Amino acid sequence: NAGVTQTPKFQVLKTGQSMTLQCAQDMNHEYMSWYRQDPGMGLRLIHYSVGAGITDQGEVPNGYNVSRSTTEDFPLRLLSAAPSQTSVYFCASSRTGRIDTQYFGPGTRLTVL
């Protein structure tokens, strides 16, 4: 099993550009989520999904879109990048979401100039 994979590992964008961060898991997990990690702030939930076709907002959803067309994939789209979106982004999955262990990808380090 590859677990949770994320691409790219690093990305530099200019303000206003759009891009998609890819996330895939091969564990047949129902629950997937996106977090951003900023210094001194821990991880903050951006969006999550409890199954294919179902998504919901987390703590900091503005400026991001998600979709979940398959169980395996959960891409995160930045519509118009801003310097405030410079961060490390982690995708995670878990079997059910309720009190379950989350499995994290290796992260994408994004810089917006």
Return the residue matching tokens 């998600």: 66
Interface with other proteins in residues 39-98 (CB under 8 A): 40-45, 48, 50, 56, 58-59, 90, 92, 97-98
List all residues 6 or more positions away from 86 whose beta carbon is below 8 Å from its beta carbon.
110, 111, 112
Q: Which of 60, 107, 110, 112 binds other proteins (CB under 8 A)?
A: 107
Instruction: Using only the alpha carbons of the chain, give its radius of gyration.
Output: 13
- Output 17 or 51, the one with its CB closest to other proteins: 51
- Output 17 or 52, the one with its CB closest to other proteins: 52
Tokens of 75: 């891409």
Give residues in contact with other proteins (CB under 8 A): 4, 31, 33, 35, 40-45, 48, 50, 56, 58-59, 90, 92, 97-107
